[in-house]
Amino acid sequence: MEASCIFCGGVSASILKSQGIRHRPSESISLYSNKNRLFLSSPISHRVWASASSRSPTKRRSRKIREDGRGADVSNNNTNNKAAVSEEKTRMKQQQVNDEKDGPTSVRALYQNGDPLGRRDLGKGVVKWIGKGMKAMALDFALAETQGDFADLKQRMGPGLTFVIQAQPYLNAVPMPLGMEAICLKTCTHYPTLFDHFQRELRDVLLDLQHKTLIHNWRETESWKLLKELATSAQHRAIARKTSLSKSVHGVLGLNIDKAKAIQCRIDKFTKHMSDLLRIERDAELEFTQEELNAVPTPDEHSTSPKPTEFLVSHAQSEQELCDTICNLNAISTSTGLGGMHLVLFRVEGNHRLPPTNLSPGDMVCVRICDSRGAGATSCMQGFVNNLGDDGCSISVALESLHGDPTFSKLFGKNIRIDRIQGLADALTYERNCEALMMLQKKGLQKKNSSIAVVTTIFGDNEDIAWFEDNNMVDWAEAELNGLLDTEFYDTSQQRAIALGLNKKRPVLIIQGPPGTGKTGVLKQLISIAVKQGERVLVTAPTNAAVDNMVEKLSDIGANIVRVGNPARISPAVASKSLVEIVNGRLADFRSEFERKKSDLRKDLSHCLRDDSLAAGIRQLLKQLGKTMKKKERETIREILSSAHVVLATNIGAADPMIRWLNSFDLVVIDEAGQAIEPSCWIPILLGKRCILAGDQCQLAPVILSRKALEGGLGVSFLERASTLHEGFLATKLTTQYRMNDAIASWASKEMYNGLLKSSASVMSHLLSDSPLVKIGLVSPETVKLSDSVLACSSSHLDPNATGLYALEVVIVKSRLVMVVPCLFPEKLYL
């Protein structure tokens, strides 16, 4: 990996440290150079200077030329004055940037109380950014009202988190001011600020419509009435005043009131604790994101190229890790992708390849024009990685932009930089996690909550569980398979997991699947049988890649499956199962007829523009035609999702209103649950009657940046916590592996699985030399070889956060693979 990092000009930890970028700070990080919070020049002094120099440099230069008639002196004066003008322009531009940055010096300095944040809190640039997004939202409100589509918009709108989530697409489409990205990302989730800006923008838009006589009284419009309705709601007042909504607790599933109050108390404590940890983790992720966006890549000192072609920036991590930033890309082409987003194809310069990268389809990214050093030079456009080219040289990104915004077109012909934005830094991800906790606290113990059995199982004590079992409300035994499963193809532990999962009276099941134990196959069979028994299933996972993998596995079970999610984040291999593709297929004939009618009406309109009454009638027909199309799309989406046997989405994607408005699911299955933070798991769980969590807490855990949040418990997955509840009887373990030699499995079994992991006879003696891809004679006779990389590594190779050693371990693995399997890695190896 060292060679790869040298080639791509990696920014090492020492380089980042020398630039003042710190590693995983435990305190607030100054986002700007003014660490003493003293600005180089105040806005007042700048305005005074501008007033005193109101006579332009050009006029002074002209007067000097007239006074001095000598040509040579005039030429010299022209040169000097041009330099002075250029210097003054540079100074004014820098002052403008400083003015826009005037605001908090740290993400954590934003005290988000119930009051709207203003220019003094955020800076002029961020306030202007919010204003543009809210103006676009206000225009959509007014347009919907004038076109008679306001009823649908009103149904989607609500106070608090609902309003914030509805505002995100408008804010995402506005480029964020340079150097203020983290502040923008945090502010866009502050409901009082967004609501305050939206109120003023909507008022201005409605007043403009009234002046144009398009409406009679702006205060009597449906949009303004809705805004006032939101402002007077109990939830809005609770947020603005930082008070809690009162909750009435009743008996739950026959429990007495005291028991119910005890469970509610545990839920309240849990949700408050998790909300605090989410906020802490988001602040940390925003700070790391801002560090990455501000980092200036540096070419390797051994590089012979005058300008680096590839760069590596990795959140202040050691240079051996994969990068989160790619610089010096060129925009090649653009097209319209699924969902109407702009798909822009970027390629690296020359014949170079992309560096080893963490970027993957679905990741949220920031796209900017960069200077010759690779530093970001323009405002940030938010988008999502669509795919990485098979040629290893290109990457396509799905971008959103407001109509008429010139930023998008300026990407072509310039050097482009793409930065990955951390998960919780994405406002939608953060808000949906918070929304799940709010719903758990507010509706977890309500009788209408379909998942009430799951909630009481998780937050009830052993005495509560025993009471439920004694009263025949839950059952923890295995279901009778009665020939539903061909036992010849499943071992004992797999059969037990399937039987437990098919028990409809079991609220929670944890399936721990160590590597190679057939966890995915078990889930596939379990879902298939559940569908045959008439159950509707919701399948989720923490990543798009894991969801797409489940789509592929389930595509041949004969069930009607639908993949819901952002089209830009869905793998092309399973795009045919995506909701967008299915809708497009069903509406192909309808849309063809729609386009024909619209074309005919437009032709008629062009011939009768002089007849105002006739033209107005045709325009009304066009408007009605558009309404019919939207209504047909909504009906088709509702029909597809309602009739689907299996709906698949990410944990966060399950919060989509299209899924939440469906009837509750009979079964919720969360794959790779050990990699997800607990709040995200509650999103799908609250949509079903019972749940199955599958994964392995001994493998990859949730990635947490903040040490404080990690120590507080955010890094403990729901799967890990639930498997220890009620003396462990919620969990079952797959115990036979079918992947590796017994010597390897025995080591893993002893170190991580208490000796319970056994090897199948089919792989017990399997060796690497048995593969036709491996060169005979180059393979060591040892089945397991442990290398101690501690003694061989110097302190400079240590990860600064003490998470492990990287350099020598990567070199050892790389050299070993290249030696024994050369046909797989003819020229390169990305690790």
List, for residues 619-677, the tens digit of each pLDDT value: 888 888 888 888 899 899 999 999 999 999 999 999 988 898 899 999 999 999 999 99
Q: Which residues pair with 649 in a beta bridge?
A: 540
582 plus 703 within the same structural domain: no
The residues near 698 (Cβ < 8 Å, ≥ 6 apart) are: 514, 752, 753
Q: For 17-31, 53-67, 332-346, which range has the lowest pLDDT when averaged over its residues? A: 17-31
> Which of 213, 239, 265 is the endpoint of a domain?
239
Q: How far is CA 36 from CA 39, 99, 102, 180, 283, in A?
A: 8, 16, 13, 18, 21
What does the DSSP 8-state code read for residue 196?
Answer: H
The predicted pLDDT at position 313 comes to 38
Specify the pLDDT at position 665.
96
Strands 646-650 and 758-759: unpaired
Q: How many residues does the chain have?
A: 831
**Could you tell me which residue, 789 or 582, shows the higher pLDDT?**
582
For residues 183 and 227, membership in a common domain is answered with yes
| Phi, psi (deg, nearest 5) at residue 692 | -125, 125
Distances (CA, A) of 226 to 171, 519, 605: 21, 49, 35
**Whether residue 455 is found in the same domain as residue 443:** no
pLDDT at 305: 46
The pLDDT value recorded for residue 44 is: 29
- Domain identity same for 304 and 372: yes
Higher pLDDT, 362 or 279: 279
Residue linked to tokens 């949906």: 432
Tens digits of residue pLDDT in 90-119? 555 455 445 444 556 566 666 556 678 888
Start-to-end Cα distance in the chain: 7
Mind giving me the DSSP string for 700-719? PPPP---HHHHHHTTTS-HH
The DSSP code sequence of 120-157 is HHH-HHHHHHHHHHHHHHHHHHHHHHHTT-HHHHHHH-
pLDDT-derived band at 41 (thresholds 50, 70, 90) equals: very low
Domain end marker among 734, 758, 782 = 734
**Structure-block tokens of residue 441:** 């606290």
Average pLDDT, the chain: 77
Q: Are residues 626 and 670 in the same domain?
A: no
327 in the same domain as 232: no
Question: ∠ CA(748), CA(803), CA(698), 5° rounding?
Answer: 30
C-alpha–C-alpha distance, residues 629 and 592, integer Å: 11
Q: What is the pLDDT of residues 224-240, one digit of tens each?
A: 999 999 988 888 887 77
Q: How confident is the model at residue 678 (pLDDT cuts 50, 70, 90)?
A: very high
Residue 428 has pLDDT above 50, yes or no: yes
Contact 244, 272 (CB under 8 A): no
Calculate mean pLDDT across residues 306-330.
54
Q: Do 267 and 413 share a domain, yes or no?
A: yes
pLDDT tens across 79-95, in order? Answer: 454 455 455 555 554 55
Better-scored residue on pLDDT, 772 or 234: 234
pLDDT tens string 506-522: 999 999 999 999 999 99
Among 88, 175, 107, 173, smallest CA distance to 139 is for: 173
- The residue type of 107 is V
Q: What is the DSSP letter of 695?
A: E
Convert 348-366 to b/e letters by CB count within 10 Å (16 or more is b). beeebbbbbbebebbbbbb
pLDDT at 36 over 50: no
Calpha distance 157→627 (Å, rounded): 19
Whether residue 212 is predicted with pLDDT greater than 90 in this model: the reply is no
Distance between CA 113 and CA 177 in Å, rounded?
Answer: 24
- Under 8 Å between Cβ of 474 and 507: yes
Same domain membership, residue 513 and residue 539:
yes
d(Cα 776, Cα 761) in Å, to the nearest integer? Answer: 24
Residue 519 lies in a domain: yes
Task: Identify the domain boundary among 627, 644, 661.
Answer: 644
Query: Do both 128 and 212 map to the same domain?
Result: yes
Residue 724, pLDDT above cutoff 60: yes
- pLDDT at residue 408, rounded to an integer: 66
- Is pLDDT of 289 > 50? yes
What is the predicted pLDDT for the residue at 107?
65
Closest to 116 in 3D by CA, of 45, 225, 194, 38: 194
Amino acid at 421: I
CATH, residue 714: 3.40.50.300
Lowest mean per-residue pLDDT among 35-39, 157-161, 384-388, 405-409: 35-39
- What secondary structure does DSSP assign to 48-101, as a single string? HHHHHT-S-HHHHHHHHHHH---HHHHHHHHHHHHHHHHHHHHHHHHHHHHHHH
Q: Which residues of 729-757 are buried (b: 16+ CB within 10 A; e: fewer)?
A: ebbbbbbbbbebbbebbbebbeebbeeeb
Q: What mean pLDDT is predicted for residues 131-155?
A: 86
The residue among 530, 488, 506, 474 whose CA lies nearest residue 732 is 506
Residue-wise pLDDT tens digits, 562-600: 999 888 778 888 999 999 999 999 999 998 998 898 888
Q: Is residue 759 part of a domain?
A: no
> Comparing 528 with 151, which gets the higher pLDDT?
528
Count Cβ atoms within 10 A of the Cβ of residue 371 and give its class: 0-12 exposed, 13-18 middle, 19 or more buried.
Answer: middle
Domain range enclosing 618: 572-644
User: Binning pLDDT at 50, 70 and 90, where does residue 1 land?
Assistant: very low
How far, in Å, CA of 201 to CA of 137, rounded?
9
My answer on whether 301 and 355 are in the same domain is: yes
Q: Is the pLDDT of residue 57 over 50?
A: no
Q: What is the pLDDT averaged over residues 484-500?
A: 91
Task: Note whether residue 785 is domain-resident.
Answer: yes
Give 748-760 pLDDT, tens digit per residue. Answer: 888 889 899 999 9
CA distance 200 to 458: 45
Name which of 266, 126, 256 is nearest 186 in CA terms: 126
Asked, for residue 526, whether it belongs to a domain, the answer is yes
Query: What average pLDDT does range 715-743 have in this prediction?
Result: 93
**Domain total for the chain?**
6
Q: What's the mean pLDDT in 727-751?
A: 90
Say if residues 295 and 16 touch (Cβ distance below 8 Å): yes
**By the 8 A CB rule, do 625 and 594 touch?**
yes
- Looking at the predicted structure, is the pLDDT value of residue 8 above 70? no
777: DSSP letter:
T
How do strand 667-670 and strand 381-388 relate by DSSP bridges?
unpaired
CA distance 408 to 792: 49
Separation between Cα atoms, residue 571 and residue 578, nearest integer Å: 10
Q: How many CB atoms lie within 10 A of CB 11?
A: 28
Residues 388 and 304 in one domain: yes
Overall average pLDDT of the 258-284 stretch: 93
- What per-residue confidence (pLDDT) applies to 165? 84
How many whole angstroms separate alpha carbon 133 and alpha carbon 512?
Answer: 45
Any domain includes 64: yes
Position 389 scores a pLDDT of 83
- Is pLDDT at 271 greater than 70 in this prediction? yes
pLDDT of residue 306 exceeding 50? no
For the residues 418-442, what does the mean pLDDT come to?
Answer: 86
User: Each residue of 792-817: pLDDT tens digit?
Assistant: 444 444 444 333 444 556 666 666 66
Q: Which of 21, 19, 32 is nearest to 298 (CA)?
A: 19
- Residue 143 scores a pLDDT above 90: no
Euclidean distance between CA atoms 517 and 494, whole angstroms: 8
Q: Do 279 and 414 sit in the same domain of this protein?
A: yes
